[in-house]
Every structure is written in structure tokens, then in C-alpha cells.
Amino acid sequence: MMTELQRFDADFVALTEVTRSNLDDLRWSLNCQGFGYIEATCTGSSSKNSVLAASKFPLTPKVEEIPPADTERWLAVEIPSLALNVLAVHIPASTDKDGKSRKGRLWDEVIRYAQLHRDQRVVLLGDFNTGL
């Protein structure tokens, strides 16, 4: 994967299915490729799939824009020097024990985010699991 990233010569990348077990290796590899600014949603010893954003430009996490559920699958950041907001998501494909669609709820939050930022420069990216 890192060879592919290097080939694209990207300034910003977002990765999904990041876990605590692979986070340190990913950070090291990304730093070696010049990505000096990295944010990830991995917490504690959780093995849940999370999201990581890496940038060659300074970025700021937008913690006030975290949805109420599936917080590890949602990473909103701002790249101030580019006046750009980025939302990286990993939409789940499953339902909760109560039968409600986790996928549907997170999609609703993505749509809400897009509506709130419609007058700004925004990129929405990630693993959208085919939409609804």
C-alpha cells in the first residue's frame, strides 16, 4: 500500500480500517513519506475499524463535528492553508441490536455535514459501502 501512495505523490490521504494494531506502523510509514500531520480515530486498545487522515499540510481535527454514534468511523479535519474541510468516513454495513441501520444513521450524518458546509470548500471521501 505504501508503494502505491508513493507512486501517486499525494499531499493528503485518508485510510479506513485502521486499528490500534496497525496504527504505529502506518504512522511511521506515512511520516517517512513526508506526511507530517496525522490524525486517527483509534482509541485505547479498541480493535474497531477506524479512520486515519495524513497530510503534508498542517491540519486541524474538527472534534465538534463528530456524530453521536460510530465516532471511530468519522474524521473531520480542516486544512487551514487551503481553506479546505475534509470528511473521511467508513460507513458500516451492519445494523445494531435494536434493528436500526448503522449505515443509514451515518449516511444521514454525512448528508447533514454536506448541508452544513455547502458554502465551503469540502471533500467527502472514504469507504461509503455502496450507499443506500
pLDDT digits 0-9 by tens, 85-124: 999 999 887 666 655 678 888 888 999 999 999 999 999 9
Closest CA to 72 of 93, 112, 43: 43
Give residue 90's pLDDT.
92
CA separation for the pair 16, 117 (Å, rounded): 23
Q: Which three cell numbers stand for residue 101?
A: 441501520
CA separation for the pair 128, 1 (Å, rounded): 20
Strand, helix or coil for residue 89: strand
pTM: 0.88
